[in-house]
Amino acid sequence: MIRVGFGFDSHRFEPSKPLMLGGIKIEHDKGLAGHSDADAVLHALIDAMLGAAGLGDIGEFFPDTDEKWKDADSVTMTVNTLNEIALLGYGVASCDITVIAEQPKLQPYKLKMRERIAEILGLETSAVSVKAKSAEGMGFIGAGEGLAAFAVVVLEEIK
């Protein structure tokens, strides 16, 4: 059986944190505000994996009221999610991610993000897509206040 999940995450920028996206550090003068490291790419991916498995959302698994997840590495959260879906007999077959941001420009980082996400998920790089888009100056993203990420995941039964 194949299952498909969709995830979304957004965070506002915060000057005092590093910018983590897709498990890598992005050079920028601002990071993202959040309870954990606020990696919106991995958070959208986690939401998509949980949704495909019928397990709810990231807030149920990694609540921002739990100090255990304060400043947590989203790579660890992603691995924990992989382990949860494996208990149900599923693994990630592929994922497609879109990041929407005015700044920083993400073109130079897309391949590195793909490679890191593939490594985390145990996939070939060709099974991971990362796209970067602009909001064309519209809304909170266009105003440079933050960014957003969307993810689609395909799960397949583990043989």
Give me the mean pLDDT over the 14-20 stretch. 92
Summarised one tens digit per residue, pLDDT across range 36-52 is 889 999 999 999 999 99
Q: How far apart are CA 81 and CA 47, in angstroms?
A: 9
The letter for the amino acid at 81 is T
The residue with tokens 């796209």 is 131
Q: How far apart are CA 75 and CA 24, in angstroms?
A: 9
The letter for the amino acid at 5 is G
Determine contact, residues 82/45, Cβ cutoff 8 Å. Answer: no
pLDDT > 90? residue 108: yes
pLDDT at 47: 97
Give me the mean pLDDT over the 120-141 stretch. 97
The residue with tokens 């909170």 is 140
pLDDT at 69: 66
Determine contact, residues 136/114, Cβ cutoff 8 Å. Answer: no
The reply to whether the predicted model has a pTM over 0.75 is yes
Residue 122 backbone phi and psi in degrees, to 5? 70, 35
The rounded mean pLDDT for the chain is 94
Residue-range domain boundaries for the chain: 2-157
The letter for the amino acid at 32 is L
pLDDT at 36: 85
Angle 132-153-39 from CA coordinates, rounded to 5°: 50
pLDDT at 111: 98
Q: Which CATH architecture has domain 2-157?
A: 2-Layer Sandwich (3.30)
Give me the mean pLDDT over the 59-73 stretch. 78
Length of the chain: 159
Q: How far apart are CA 117 and CA 53, in angstroms?
A: 19
137 exposed, middle or buried (CB, 10 Å; 0-12, 13-18, 19+)? exposed
